């Protein structure tokens, strides 16, 4: 082991001497500085924040652009994000999309709403503790100003899900919900709703019918075609307009690198 260690040490010294000679010859001096990243409680999978120049973040930018380009009689402002079943990546997708919109849409006001009042995860992924949220606004008329959260990203507001109610579907289908969505449309340029998956519960259908359309998240190599078709059918039965689909967990090759699209 001693000989190996000495050989490695000698090789490192030789490389350093070559670098120093190159710097002297070129009249320059290199400094290897690692920029310290501030501690963040936001989940590392939120690449639109942590790695905005990455290939994965670029996919969310393309998604943002595609939404803007949708040919519709009325402007697309309120969007419901859902999936067929749990665990397909809808919440991570909703958060990344909202942040991408907040960063790149010329000071457009964006609000991200956790409409999954059964298993809301947005506050967990964004690293804050919620006290009042959507369920409180719809059920007992809580003050909306007490529920809105600023996580330090310009142009982005977050509305958490709130306390888990016993009747989330009824709340989302209520007149209070419809009126609240109208108010949000008057205050924000884009509203992103993270809804529960459509097959287990009816929430996404009820919400999708009140918004300008639904985007379905589909996990590659997991979501079966029949399951997806069933989810589509449920949304259409609820009179929700399907705007498109997002594939998650998609592996694709870029020369020299293999990226995972989460």
Lowest-confidence segment of 114-118, 186-190, 206-210, 251-255 by average pLDDT: 251-255
Q: For residue 164, what is the DSSP state?
A: P
Residue 88: pLDDT above 60? yes
Note whether 111 and 205 are within 8 A (CB). Answer: no
Ranges assigned E (strand) in the chain: 78-83, 110-114, 156-159, 190-194, 214-219, 242-248, 250-254, 257-261
Distance between CA atoms of residues 220 and 218, nearest Å = 6
- The confidence score (pLDDT) of residue 229 equals 94
CA distances in angstroms from 111 to 128, 198, 218, 235, listed in the order given: 16, 22, 23, 23
- The confidence score (pLDDT) of residue 102 equals 94
Residue 34: pLDDT above 80? no
Residues above pLDDT 70, as percent of the chain = 79
Distance between CA atoms of residues 220 and 250, nearest Å = 6
CA distances in angstroms from 105 to 8, 13, 58, 67, 113, listed in the order given: 52, 50, 14, 12, 18
pLDDT digit string, tens, across residues 40-61: 688 999 999 998 888 888 989 9
pLDDT digit string, tens, across residues 111-157: 999 999 999 999 999 998 888 899 999 998 778 888 899 998 999 99
């Amino acid at each position: 082991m001693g000989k190996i260690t000495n050989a490695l040490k000698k090789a490192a010294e030789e490389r350093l001497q070559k670098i120093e000679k190159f710097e002297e010859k070129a009249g320059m001096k290199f400094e290897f500085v690692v920029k310290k990243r501030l501690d963040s409680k936001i989940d590392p999978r939120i690449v639109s924040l942590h790695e905005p120049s990455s290939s994965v973040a670029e996919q969310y930018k393309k998604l943002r652009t595609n939404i803007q380009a949708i040919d519709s009689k009325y402007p697309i402002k309120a969007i419901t994000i859902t999936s067929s079943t749990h665990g397909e990546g809808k919440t991570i997708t909703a958060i990344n999309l909202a942040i991408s919109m907040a960063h790149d849409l010329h000071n457009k006001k964006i609000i991200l709403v956790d409409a999954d009042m059964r298993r809301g995860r947005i506050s967990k992924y964004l690293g804050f503790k919620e006290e009042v949220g959507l369920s409180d606004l719809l059920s007992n008329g809580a003050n909306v100003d007490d529920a809105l959260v600023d996580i330090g990203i310009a142009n982005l507001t977050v509305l958490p899900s709130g306390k888990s109610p016993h009747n989330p579907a009824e709340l989302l289908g209520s007149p209070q919900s419809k009126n609240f969505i109208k108010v949000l449309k008057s205050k924000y340029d884009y509203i992103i709703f993270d809804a529960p998956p459509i097959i287990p519960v009816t929430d996404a259908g009820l919400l999708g019918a009140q918004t300008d359309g639904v985007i379905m998240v589909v996990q590659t190599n997991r979501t079966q075609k029949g399951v997806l078709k069933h989810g589509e059918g449920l949304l259409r039965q609820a009179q929700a307009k399907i705007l498109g689909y997002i594939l998650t967990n998609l592996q694709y090759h870029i020369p020299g690198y293999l990226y995972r699209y989460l």
